[in-house]
Structure 1
Amino acid sequence: MTDMPKHFLLALNHRIATVSLNRPDRKNPLTFDSYAELRDWFRSLPYRDEIDVVIFGSNGGNFSSGGDVHEIIGPLTEMNTKELLTFTRMTGDLVKAMINCGKPMISAVDGICVGAGAIIAMASDIRIATPETKTAFLFTRVGLAGCDMGACAILPRIIGQGRASELLFTGRSMCAEEGVAWGFFNKIVPSETLAQTASDMAARIAAGPNFAHMMTKTMLAQEWSMSIEQAVEAEAQAQAICMQTEDFKRAYRAFVAKEKPLFEGN
C-alpha cells in the first residue's frame, strides 16, 4: 500500500500516521475512491511495524460530511441490488479494517461529523471533540435504515441502547457536550488545540508497549461476542503471550532500577 494516497491525506511522523479527508471546501465528503483507498490502507496496517498509532483528523474545520451527495448518493439510486450490496459491503469493510488494524486509533473531530464520518469516529478507539463538533447518524433522513456500517452493533456499546436508538431513529445532531456526557467523546478541547491534543495522546500511546496495545485492541473487539468465561480464558492466553515479550522484561528491569521503561514494541 502506497504512503502517497490519491484520495486522502496521510502524514507519517514519529511512528504516528495522521489521516484526513481532503475536500475541505465541501466539508470532506467520502467518495467511492476514498472509501476503497482507506479500506485498503487500513487493511495494510497489521503488517506495518513502523506505525504504532493512527490519528484520523479533521481538515478545514470539519471532520466529514459523509458520503458525497452527487458522487455517491446520486449514483446509488441508479444501481441494481448486486451493485448496491457490493458498495455496502465495501463501506462495512472499511469499518472492519479499522477495527482489525491492530493500531490504537484516535479521531480528532472538529465541526461536521455526520453519516459515514460519524461511523469513522464511532469505529475509532478514542474520540476528541471541539465545542463546534456536531455528530449525526443521518441515514434515516435520506430514507435509509440506521443500521449502517455496524452502527447498530457498535454505537449502543458506546453510549447505551436507548441513546443510540434515539440518534439512529431521528438522525438528529449530538452536540459535543452530549457526546462527552454520553461517553461518545473522551474530551472536548478548543479547536485550535485539537490537533496537538490528539498528537500528544498518540505520542503517549506510541511510547508504550505496542505489541501489547495490539493485543488490547484485538481483545476489545473480539470479546464483544464472548461469554465472560470465554473472555477470561482469552485474556489469560493473550497476557501469557505478552509476558514473553522483551517489553515485559524491560518494564521489570526499569521498575527494579527505579527508571522509566523504554518500550520497543517487541
Structure 2
Amino acid sequence: MKKILIFLSLCMITLYGNDTLKHGWFGRAGIGIADLVHQAGQSRSQSVFASLYIDGGYTFTNQMELGYDVQIGSSPNKLSNGLPLVGIQSFTDLPTPKGGGNIVSDMTITIGYNLISSPKDHPLYLGTGLVINNFAIGAVDIPITAIVVNTYLPLEIKGNLIKGKWGLEYLASYDLQLQSAIGILGEIQETKQLPINGGYALRANIGFTYQLSQKYFFFATIIFRYANLNASQKTTITTIADTSMPGAKPDVSNEVYYPKSHTAYIGMRFGFGF
C-alpha cells in the first residue's frame, strides 16, 4: 500500500503544474435507503436501512483525484434465531429476542489516477486508499452489544460518461481485509475485543447525474455492498453484579464468539452535488 501511495503522489506532483486541464474541489450530499441483511451462524437480521451520505475531494489537473466519502445510518431489525453472538443467551432469562437495532457507518479515503487522456467528460480512475466500516447490532433487553469494526485496502475503479446535461457514473471495488475485530460491550465487567482473521468486501454503484446549472447537479445511484468475514476468536465474559437491565442475569460468565458472517445491502442513494 505504501509503494502505491508514493507512486500516485509522484504522479500527482508531476501533473499539478499543467494548468490547461481541469482541477478543483468537488462534493455531494444525499440520503439513502437500502435493504440490509446480516447473516451470522444461525442468526439472521433483515431491515430497511436509512442513511446520510457525503463525499468530496479535489481533482488535480483532471488526472489525479483525492477523495473521501462518509455514510452513517441506522435501522430497526427483524431477528431470526436470536443475536449473532454465540453464547449471549446465557446472560438473560428472557425469551430469544425478535427485534433490535443496527447502526452502520462507512468512511472511505481514496487516491485515484485517471487512465484516460483528454478526460474532461469521461474520466476513468484507478484508485486505492482506506475503507473503515463499523456495524453494531443489539436487541431489546439484551445486556450486551456487539460492534464489528473492519479496515480494508480498496482496489477501486470508477468513472463517468457525460453527454450534455446527463451523465452516467459507475464504481466497482474489491476491498482487501487489513484488520477486523468485534468489540463486546454493555453490562459486563470488562470490554472485550476479538480479532477476526480473514474476510473481504465487494462494492458496486451505478447511477446518473443531471446538470441543474453550470455548477450544481442532481444525482441518483443504485448502491450495493457485500462483506464476508470469518469467525472471531473466543473469549469469556462476565456480567456485572449490579445490573439493572430487565431480564439480565447478574454475575454470570460464559464463553462467546462471533460466527462466520456476511452482510449485504442494496438500495438507492440520491441528492445534490457540485
- TM more than 0.5: no
Q: Pick the structure with more strand per residue.
A: 2
What TM-score, normalized by structure 1, do the two folds share? Answer: 0.22
What TM-score, normalized by structure 2, do the two folds share? Answer: 0.21
Point out the structure with max Rg over C-alpha: 2
